[in-house]
């Protein structure tokens, strides 16, 4: 047992307050980030644990405090934002599409 990502060990500038994880069809690790310098994003790591950038950019589409990620199809990822009160939809490249579900709280 040990640290897989980020390769090289703990780096809070990339991952801080992580919550949900998923593997894409290529085996890349996607991790929701809820704190620190990379807050409100989904970080991406290759199959060796190397950080390759963000799958979903910081606060893209209004994402605030992401909690989990679900790869719904080969063309859509859903990310729940606890503070943005929405289920945000992104294409398979991480580009914001729309809110999959409406905001119920204000």
Paired residues of 76 in beta bridges: 73, 91
> What mean pLDDT value characterizes the chain?
92
Residue 37 domain-assigned (yes or no): yes
Q: Domain count of the chain?
A: 1
Domain of 55? 18-94
Secondary structure letter of residue 27 according to DSSP: -
The rounded Cα 77 to chain-centroid distance in angstroms is 9
**The domain spanning residue 51 has which CATH number?**
2.40.10
- How confident is the prediction along the chain (106 residues), in pLDDT tens digits per residue? 778 899 989 999 999 999 999 999 999 999 999 999 999 999 999 999 999 999 999 999 999 999 999 998 778 999 999 898 899 999 999 999 999 876 665 5
11 domain-assigned: no
Could you tell me if residue 65 is inside a domain? Answer: yes
Residue 99 falls inside a structural domain:
no
In a domain, 13, yes or no: no
Residues 28-55 have pLDDT tens digits of 999 999 999 999 999 999 999 999 999 9
């Amino acid at each position: 047992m040990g640290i897989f990502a980020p390769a090289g060990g703990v780096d809070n500038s990339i991952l801080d307050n992580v919550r949900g994880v998923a593997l894409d069809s290529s085996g890349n690790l996607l991790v929701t980030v809820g704190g620190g310098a990379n807050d409100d994003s989904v970080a991406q790591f290759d199959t060796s644990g190397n950080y390759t950038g963000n799958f979903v950019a910081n606060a893209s589409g209004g994402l605030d405090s992401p909690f989990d990620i679900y790869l719904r199809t080969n063309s859509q990822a859903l990310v729940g934002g606890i503070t943005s009160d929405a289920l945000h939809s992104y294409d398979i490249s991480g580009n914001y599409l729309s809110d999959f579900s409406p905001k119920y709280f204000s």
